[in-house]
Structure 1
Amino acid sequence: MTTPILLGISGSLRAEATNTKLMREAARLFGDCTFVEGDLRMPLYDGDLEAAEGVPEPAQVLARQIAEADAVIISTPEYNKAPPGVLKNALDWVSRVEGRPWTDKPVAVMSAAAGRAGGERAQMILRACMVAFRPRILQGPEIHLAGSSKEFDEDGRLTGEIYVRELTALMVALRAEIGR
């Protein structure tokens, strides 16, 4: 088998976001792969903008990255009990691109949040938002990193044994899903 392409999407734009750290840790634990990070910086979805100018280049790039990836990791924060608007906006734009890049794509969803639920609600809503795209979203193990700012060392590595064990198991399952 060739080296798999793994696309990581963090639902947070902050430079030191724990969801970006979690996404990168997942890629490290996934093992040998070509890891690509998606960029969610794009204009807000607007049908008039699309009609006038077409799908913006950043959305087209993300759609190509999804299509070319063998698997995708999405790590979402929880803002006001839901995924952040930047993540939903990117999903909306990608849905407007020709083709169906998400169809049958293995996807691992995870979340990191400051609260004690670790982004559980955001993850549940994100999974529901993706149903229309028909990816193969792994059902577990579920990763809900609670109190996330305290769960990484200075190198961005997870420190909690249970989180490392569960994230490793999720990445093993994602790698196996590529071969299905």
Structure 2
Amino acid sequence: MTDQQTPLRVVGISGSLRKASLNSASLRAARDLAPPDMAIDIFDIADIPLYNDDIRTENGYPESVQAFRDALKAADGVLIATPEYNYSIPGVLKNAIDWASRPPEQPFDAKPIAIMGASPGVLGTSRAQYHLRQCFVYLNGFVMNRPEVMIGQANSKFDPEGKLTDQGTIDFLKGFLVTLADHIRYHQRAKSRH
């Protein structure tokens, strides 16, 4: 298979546990709009317990955490849809990242990552996204710089069932996902040269 024929495996993570979450809806939209050479599998972080390193050092990783780490490690890239709580990252998302990032072989190292977000407000989770980017500086994740997806006034862009209906957002998201595929392949080629 050539580089362009190898399908890309992306793990999608929503930073919200709410059933009617706009961010989970955005992530499902991304999954459905992904280019033909990309498959986005959404990982549910709801079962990941509160981080306590005593658990890991005494008993190893909890099953849900190990499954999360394995999914991240096997993926070619990561797509995170984050809400913004109090100008920052939701606790459940930060908790999942904290668990996954423990040694050995933390799976965010040199992993291509894209971040998006949706909110009823006009800023579309911009502050939370910037805080999330800071986390990945330390973890050496290769976060895609642009385009940035900040879906403001998102409650008017989805139908009551959570389906994305705004054509401008659909088109923008398609372009974002094509760029994510290019971002992943760029880092794959760079890794293969070393």
Q: Same fold (TM over 0.5)?
A: yes
Look up the match of 1:150.
156
1:30 aligned residue (17, 31, 34): 34
Look up the match of 2:51.
45
Report the AA paired with residue 7 of structure 1: V
| Structure 1 residue 64: Cα displacement | 0.9
Task: Normalising by structure 1, report the TM-score.
Answer: 0.92
Structure 2: distance between partners of 1:97 and 1:86 = 20
Mark the runs of 5 or more structure 2 residues left unpaired by the alignment: 187-194
Q: Which has the larger radius of gyration?
A: 2
What's the CA shift string for 1:103-152, capped at 9, x where partnerless? 22221100111222111101110111111121221111111112222211
Report the AA paired with residue 133 of structure 2: R
What's the CA shift string for 1:33-89, capped at 9, x where partnerless? 333111212111112222222221111111111111112110000111111000000
Residues 31 and 156 of structure 1: is their aligned pair in 2 closer, same or farther, counting only changes over 3 Å? farther
Residue 174 of structure 1 pairs with residue 180 of structure 2: yes
| SS of residue paired to 1:179 | helix
Residues 47 and 100 of structure 1: is their aligned pair in 2 closer, same or farther, counting only changes over 3 Å? closer
Structure 1: distance between partners of 2:31 and 2:57 = 37
Structure 2: distance between partners of 1:68 and 1:176 = 18
| SS of residue paired to 1:6 | strand
Query: Is 85-94 or 45-54 further displaced after alignment?
Result: 45-54
Look up the match of 1:101.
107
Does the 8 Å CA contact 2:31/2:39 hold for their aligned counterparts?
no
Deviant stretches of 4+, over 4 Å: none
Structure 2: distance between partners of 1:48 and 1:99 = 18
Structure 1: distance between partners of 2:32 and 2:80 = 14
Structure 2: distance between partners of 1:171 and 1:155 = 23
2:24 aligned residue (20, 24, 44): 20
Task: Normalising by structure 2, report the TM-score.
Answer: 0.86
Structure 1 vs Structure 2: percent identity of aligned residues?
Answer: 37
Does the 8 Å CA contact 2:65/2:100 hold for their aligned counterparts?
yes
Aligned length: 180
Mark the runs of 5 or more structure 1 residues left unpaired by the alignment: none
Structure 2: distance between partners of 1:105 and 1:128 = 15
